[in-house]
Structure 1
Amino acid sequence: MTEASNNTLRKIIHIDMDAFYASVEQRDNPLYQNKPIVVGGSPEGRGGVVATASYEARKFGIRSAMSSKRAQQLCPDAIFVRPRFAAYKEASQKIREIFQRYTDLIEPLSLDEAYLDVTIDKQNIGSAIAIAKLIKQAIKDELQLTASAGVSINKFVAKIASDLNKPDGLTFIAPAQIEAFMEKLPVEKFFGVGKVTAEKMKSMQLFTGADLKKLTEAALKQHFGKVGAFYYQIVRGIDNRAVQPHRETKSLGAEDTFPFDLTDMETMSVELDKIALVVFDRLQRHQLKGRTITLKVKYHDFKQITRNQSFAEPIGDLETIAATAKSLLAASDITDKKIRLLGITLSNFGEFMPKPKNPDHPEQLKLFP
């Protein structure tokens, strides 16, 4: 099992806010409470993209990165709300302040989730479960928001646990329970297993952790490359990654492999909008801006090209990221080409220096018509 450097089992909490953007909107506007709220672009015109949705909207199958037009089809009564990133960042900062009452070992993954190492906690409470309960209650009392928590001895298991009883859940997976828990876990829940890898695993009759456990480490590496060694460890409940409060990020991006090859620029532009939204959200999480935007294109025959553009000043707004990626794509030779993957990466980071602005100003929201 995972152990800290002093041979003591780590106490790890993963906190994940419940439908964060939508919950902030419902908290701040009583008319939105208990209603299907979609935060993102309007479904009018070409339509925008869903950033997140309230649980009332998720019941209809609405999910993040879905087109707003599709979301409206699934739930005609959905209320579409433009994102207010300043409000979300303010709430996120207050949540971080609550975390800091108990530990300084905090690794933010986004505005709405983080790992906490409470092996040694500031208030000498000693129980990670008790600390998780106190954090959840403070978030509810002070911010009128709910969070779900997962508690275990490593990051991977804690993260999976936080998702088991949403919303407002708390799940503890004890050391003795981890291997049995991992054996029952579907392969698509494993860290690093995307849609393509999950399909490959299922074609090999690998559906659960128990199925993966039957393969040797050498066999997993043969089929899945270096990450196979990670699968071998994690299915046995071994995850030695430490909580990293000061992790250096050298590049940040997102990409998507499509279920069918793309052949027209309009469809590619829509997909780049979705990818740009993911990249933008990750930049917000890490409080970063980059000077270089790189576009990645993979063709149906797996040939790959990259194109990049650099800026004199760091940029991080959604409009520039999407527009630059589209410009780089338009300048590439994609005529009569079938494209299976698109990706956007930012690098060459500078300090995040937000300009004072009205939180409802549309400067960063032009992809949300």
Structure 2
Amino acid sequence: MDSSKRIVFLIDMQSFYASVEKAANPDIRDKPIVVAGDPKRRSGVVLAACPLAKAYGVTTAEALWQAEQKCRHLVVVRPRMEMYMHVSLQITRIFESFTDLVEPYSIDEQFLDVTGSLSLFGEPREIARKIRERVKQETGIVCRVGIGENKILAKMACDNFAKKREDGTFWLKKAELGETLWTLPIEKLFGVGSRMKRHFHRMGIYRIQQLADLSPGVLMRRWGVNGEVLWNTAHGIDESPVSPRAHDVQKGIGHHMTLPRDYHTAEEIKVVLLELCEEVCRRARSKGLMGQVVSVGCRGADLAAGNGFYRQMKLAEPTHDATALYMGVCHLFERHWQHLPVRSVRVNLGQLAPDNVVQLSLFDDTPRRRSLGLVMDDIRRRYGNDAIVRAVSVLKAGQAKERAKKIGGHYK
């Protein structure tokens, strides 16, 4: 093994939510289960399916009613995000006992750079075996390990090969791409979604080998920087480090909500927009940030028609005050909403900056509004997010009290 090359793992938890539920409840360990939301509140989508459920054709992200038709004795479990986050942190601590270079990629995927751990724990496959055994023993969850000399190779090793192997481990080596990665369909390349797949098919490119054989200039002329990234990915080129603090820099703070029913009037929709402004500003204040670019999105009830909009504007001054943000949100909403039923809404605050420098005004009591916001944050922190809400939130359109029961859009 070349000592100059890094050894990077991408470790993925198999059917994470479903595996956590099975580990917590022995009565369902041998049954086909899915973790899914509440169909009455338009969250009846499969979030995770165990291997037994997948054997019946059940897939992640399909409607719950479709999954139940495929498997009549399917066990449906409501998501418990608080528990999943706790187990994810427990698994992170296991990884950190092997290396201090651990970078979370999602709640069920993490990168590890074990280059400096080889002398302590053995060669890469041996380290992967030890990690898999500890995770299984301490949490009851099966994990798969992709190995590569960088993050992109480790990710594709896990997604395309490790998940299909009995030992759950695969080492994707750059020198062997011609016999491994390049033989796969073009959609198996990281970064190629359904739309890009169609573009490549129109170009006559069906396998990763064909993309790898192209000159990078051909892709750059068509897709700019993204074309170069795809060429680099096909050749296993990635210089990004595994960094525990990779996600500390935040570019925006946003909140999205799928509504429990179609909202038809501006009055109803604005209630939820105000609630989202409150949540976005609360999170901004907690991080000591303000933002000057506000974005608003509404998705229409008719998904097939593609109705809806997503627009942004720059505010006169940076803010983390809900009222100021709401005024900008309403301006965008009133300008771009086409008076069609709305299924989901989104509010985002971008162009973030520290809130310790503020431009004072003779005509605007910013310090007082900031103090009021911090007091409200403290009340919610002590007594719950629904301890103090806007008066409109008690109306039928309000969702603040229901949202307070959730983490990441799912029930705790």
- Give the TM-score normalised by structure 1: 0.72
Give the root-mean-square deviation of aligned CA atoms.
4.5
The alpha-carbon deviation at position 198 of structure 1 amounts to: 1.4
Partner of 1:320: none
Distance in 2 of aligned mates of 1:137 and 1:237: 29
SS of residue paired to 1:108 = strand
Partner of 1:250: 250
**Change over 3 Å in CA distance of 1:365–1:115 after alignment to 2:** closer
The reply to whether residue 237 of structure 1 matches residue 236 of structure 2 is yes
The reply to whether residue 11 of structure 1 matches residue 53 of structure 2 is no
**Change over 3 Å in CA distance of 1:21–1:302 after alignment to 2:** closer
The reply to whether residue 41 of structure 1 matches residue 37 of structure 2 is yes
Partner of 1:152: 148
Partner of 1:294: 295
Distance in 2 of aligned mates of 1:150 and 1:51: 23
| Equivalent residue in structure 1 for 2:163, among 154, 162, 166 | 166
Which of structures 1 and 2 has the larger relative contact order (alpha carbons within 8 angstroms, sep 6+)?
1
Distance in 1 of aligned mates of 2:8 and 2:126: 12
**Change over 3 Å in CA distance of 1:343–1:232 after alignment to 2:** farther
Partner of 2:275: none
Amino acid at match of 2:296: L
**Change over 3 Å in CA distance of 1:333–1:69 after alignment to 2:** farther
The alpha-carbon deviation at position 297 of structure 1 amounts to: 6.6
Greater percentage in helix = 2
Distance in 2 of aligned mates of 1:27 and 1:127: 30
The alpha-carbon deviation at position 84 of structure 1 amounts to: 1.2
What aligned pairs does 1:35-184 form with structure 2 within 5 A after superposition? 35-44=31-40, 46=42, 48-121=44-117, 124-163=120-159, 164-166=161-163, 169-184=168-183
Distance in 1 of aligned mates of 2:54 and 2:253: 26
Distance in 2 of aligned mates of 1:96 and 1:10: 20
Partner of 1:259: none
Report if aligned partners of 1:22, 1:53 keep a CA contact under 8 Å in 2: yes
The alpha-carbon deviation at position 296 of structure 1 amounts to: 4.3
Distance in 2 of aligned mates of 1:105 and 1:83: 30
Number of residue equivalences: 325
Report if aligned partners of 2:298, 2:308 keep a CA contact under 8 Å in 1: no
Report if aligned partners of 1:57, 1:75 keep a CA contact under 8 Å in 2: yes
* More off after superposition, 21-30 vs 88-97: 88-97
**Change over 3 Å in CA distance of 1:265–1:223 after alignment to 2:** farther
Distance in 1 of aligned mates of 2:19 and 2:330: 35
- Give the TM-score normalised by structure 2: 0.65
Distance in 2 of aligned mates of 1:291 and 1:76: 50
The alpha-carbon deviation at position 306 of structure 1 amounts to: 3.2
The reply to whether residue 333 of structure 1 matches residue 336 of structure 2 is yes
Report if aligned partners of 1:16, 1:148 keep a CA contact under 8 Å in 2: yes
**Change over 3 Å in CA distance of 1:70–1:235 after alignment to 2:** same
- For structure 2, list consecutive stretches of 5 or more residues without a partner in the other structure: 255-261, 265-285, 300-304, 323-328, 355-377, 385-402
Partner of 1:220: 219
Report if aligned partners of 1:44, 1:69 keep a CA contact under 8 Å in 2: no
The alpha-carbon deviation at position 192 of structure 1 amounts to: 2.1
Amino acid at match of 1:333: H
Distance in 1 of aligned mates of 2:204 and 2:229: 19
Equivalent pairs: percent with the same residue? 28
Q: Who wins on radius of gyration, i.e. which is larger? A: 2
Partner of 1:203: 202
- For structure 1, list consecutive stretches of 5 or more residues without a partner in the other structure: 255-263, 267-286, 314-325
Distance in 2 of aligned mates of 1:327 and 1:57: 44
Distance in 2 of aligned mates of 1:15 and 1:123: 21
Distance in 2 of aligned mates of 1:327 and 1:24: 41
Q: State the Cα deviation string for residues 307-355 of structure 1 (Å, max 9, x = none).
A: 7997648xxxxxxxxxxxx99997563427899x9977565599xx995
Distance in 2 of aligned mates of 1:253 and 1:191: 26
